[in-house]
Homo-oligomer: A and B are copies of this chain.
Amino acid sequence: MAYKKILAAIDLTDETEDVVARVKAVAEQNKAEVSLLTVVRPINQVYGGFDVAALSTDAALIERDVVKQAEKHLEKYAEKLGIPAERTHLGHGTPSHEIKRRAEEMKVDLIIMGTHGRKGLGLLLGSTASGVLHGSPCDVLTVRIK
Could you list which residues of chain A lie within 8 angstroms of chain B, going by C-beta atoms?
1-2, 21-22, 24-25, 29-30, 115, 129-130, 133-134, 136-144
Contact = CB atoms under 8 A, between A and B. Distances in A.
Given A1-B22, A2-B25, A25-B2, A144 B134 contact: no
A140 B130 CA distance: 12
Contact of A115 (B2, B21, B24, B133): B133
A132 B117 CA distance: 17
20 contacts: A1-B21, A1-B22, A1-B25, A2-B25, A22-B139, A29-B29, A29-B30, A115-B133, A130-B133, A130-B134, A133-B133, A133-B142, A136-B144, A139-B141, A139-B142, A139-B143, A139-B144, A140-B142, A140-B144, A141-B141
